[in-house]
Amino acid sequence: MNKKWEFYGKDEEIVKQIQDEFGLSRLLATIIANKNLKTKQEIDVFLNPTRNDFHDPYLMPDMEIAVNRIIKAIENQEKVIIYGDYDVDGITSITVLKKFLADRGLEVDSYIPNRLDEGYGLNKSAIDKIVEQKYQLMITVDCGISGIEEIDYANSLGLETIVTDHHEPAEKLPNALAVVDAKRKDNKYPFNQLAGVGVVFKLTQAISKVYGLDEKEYLKYLDIVCVGTISDIVPLVDENRVITKLGLKLVEVTRNIGLKALLASIGYKKIDSSAISFGVAPRINACGRMGKEQEALQLFLTENVVEAVNISKQLNEYNRQRQDIEKRIFEEVLYKIENGEKDKPCIVLADKNWHHGVIGIVSSKVTEMYYKPSILICLEDGEGKGSGRSIPGFDLHEALTKCDRYIDRFGGHSMAIGISVNEENFENFKNDFENFAENSNIKDLIPIIKVDEEVSAKDINVKVVNDLSLLEPFGEANKMPVFMYKNLRINSIRALSEGKHLKLTLKDEGLVIDAIGFNMGYLVDDYLLGDKVDVLGNLEINRFNGRESVQINLKDIRKSY
């Protein structure tokens, strides 16, 4: 598939100014200029965030109301429950708030809906159980903003609710005591991209201010806040960057017994955003996907080392099971695509043997592989539940609003949706959606890879690449920089892992550079020894047998002209 290589429109004067003011290399200054950080203060906070860079929590909507009600509950020793989501953001949100309130003398309980039986968010059956157990206050974390009917129902039963969330609200807000969400239209908080656990962190900061507590009383949970923030794929800029940059330092020396045990079981040598994104997050999320969400929460709450080690082993097993299920479904989806669906403008498939807990991951892989919107649906007892993913330029949520006559329910945003369709209506829905996609601009959309800078032999050394660590942690809105290197001669080329990955050595005069292209093994027959190529990729340090060398992690490759 052809991809468009597009450089950022850099201003050389700004690059020089950043280089001089901060004593950076030209390469680093260029990358920072590409991030459109306009002021010296913004750049300084990006490079060297401190605890003084957190915003005032009381600028958030309804924060004062929420704090006052929680303090009342602490003083009166009320029966309080936290209602959270089953993903990493929800699990870490519950952990932080539960531990913080326990430190204030209030032991609270928690409720997490089972993904397979209850689905996402508030539900009336859960509220019935909570009311039956005589809870007086329910605090939602990482959910609740869309639970308008459910919160009205809770109110009718005498259950008071505080909503803390980070998702988009509808035109009407839930009728809760307080709705703490920086995405509200009346929001005055300067940053509205916090994860759910970030909102909880601000709540603990606000309570701490009222009590006159030392900063360490809420900062000590920054390791858990960091894990939830990185895992939820929110933009790692502004306050999220402060949380993750400071939080990763705490993760390295974490006192959370469960997190420490899980990190040890995974075996990452370096604790960075990749260790969280590809090590911790999949294992915690696997619990929710497999309907075992309580075990993930217990991991973070336990004070018993043996229990932590045992849960970590179990989480690794759930993750292995999730990978096996995901691999099977992915192979079945690919078979269907290659046998009748490949030439269609989108991919809409359903099957009775799929697991709706992992279908979203498969949809993401399919969309990335074919660069088309995909919707995959699991059929069970006549009902279909599924997930969809999209590509930049095609608004999946808007598309479904135009094709909704056969849909029972759907929700999400432009790039990802959840959907329910009755089995007998699936083919009609599929036809509607395919017709809509056919008449859209999908065929004109091609992947664009943003390139930070062109590099040459002088940039390929360990010091230059180590300097790039100043930009960490990497994540959404702060991706690893992508570089272009031109006119390299192929010195060797082969496929690894049964043809899955591409391994090359590339030569530029006297310099020989290793390169690895994950999931690019299919290109092995397109190139010959001696071919001149241009490549795009990340610069990484490859450590082997005590020796460090620069490696290019390929994003794309094409013949030089």
The tens digit of pLDDT for each residue in 38-57 reads 789 889 999 999 999 999 99
CA atoms of 104 and 217, how far apart (whole Å)? 10
- pLDDT confidence of residue 554: 97
Q: In what order do the strands lie in the sheet with 80-84?
A: 109-111, 80-84, 137-141, 160-164, 178-180
* Closest to 316 in 3D by CA, of 350, 342, 348, 292: 292
Position 37 pLDDT exceeds 90: no
3-state SS assignment for residue 427: helix
- pLDDT confidence of residue 117: 82
Residues 6+ apart with CB under 8 A from 41: none
Q: Which amino acid is it at 291? A: G
The 10s digit of each residue's pLDDT in 406-449 is: 999 887 778 888 899 999 999 999 999 999 999 998 888 999 99
Residues 6+ apart with CB under 8 A from 290: 318, 321, 322, 357
CA atoms of 128 and 222, how far apart (whole Å)? 34
3-state SS assignment for residue 158: coil
CATH no. of 4-48+449-559: 2.40.50.460
What is the 8-class DSSP label of residue 169? P
The full 3-state SS of 28-85, as one line of letters, equals HHHHHHHCCCCCHHHHHHHHCCCHHHCCCHHHCCCHHHHHHHHHHHHHHCCCEEEEEC
Estimate to the nearest angstrom the gap between the alpha carbon of 458 and the chain centroid: 35
Mean pLDDT within 509-538:
94
- The reply to whether 4-48+449-559 and 57-222 are identical in fold is no
- pLDDT grade for 548, boundaries at 50, 70 and 90: confident
* Closest to 488 in 3D by CA, of 422, 425, 536, 438: 536
Handedness of CA 519, 523, 525, 530 (dihedral sign): negative
Q: Which amino acid is it at 205? A: Q
* Closest to 81 in 3D by CA, of 155, 154, 138: 138
Helix (H) or strand (E) holding 344: none
- Ramachandran category for residue 43: left, alpha or beta (phi over 0 → left; psi -120 to 50 → alpha): alpha
- In 409-500, the DSSP E strands lie at 409-412, 416-422, 448-451, 453-454, 483-496
The 10s digit of each residue's pLDDT in 123-174 is: 999 999 999 999 999 999 999 998 999 999 999 999 999 999 998 888 899 9
- Among 109-123, 449-463, 516-530, whose mean pLDDT is lowest? 109-123
CATH no. of 57-222: 3.90.1640.30
Taking the CB of residue 414, how many other CB atoms lie within 10 A of it?
Answer: 14
What class, spelled out in words, does domain 343-444 have in CATH?
A: alpha beta
* Closest to 242 in 3D by CA, of 89, 46, 469, 474: 46
CA atoms of 241 and 252, how far apart (whole Å)? 17
Estimate to the nearest angstrom the gap between the alpha carbon of 453 and the chain centroid: 26
Which whole-number Å values give the CA distances from 281 to 136, 260, 358, in the listed order? 33, 14, 14
Estimate to the nearest angstrom the gap between the alpha carbon of 15 and the chain centroid: 30
The residue ranges of every structural domain in the chain are: 4-48+449-559, 57-222, 343-444
Model pTM score? 0.90
CA atoms of 408 and 426, how far apart (whole Å)? 11
Which pair of structure tokens corresponds to residue 539?
């610069």
* Closest to 384 in 3D by CA, of 412, 405, 356: 356
The 10s digit of each residue's pLDDT in 246-256 is: 999 999 999 99
Which pair of structure tokens corresponds to residue 349?
């498939």
Q: What angle do CA 179, 180, 185 make, to 5 degrees?
A: 80
- pLDDT grade for 64, boundaries at 50, 70 and 90: very high
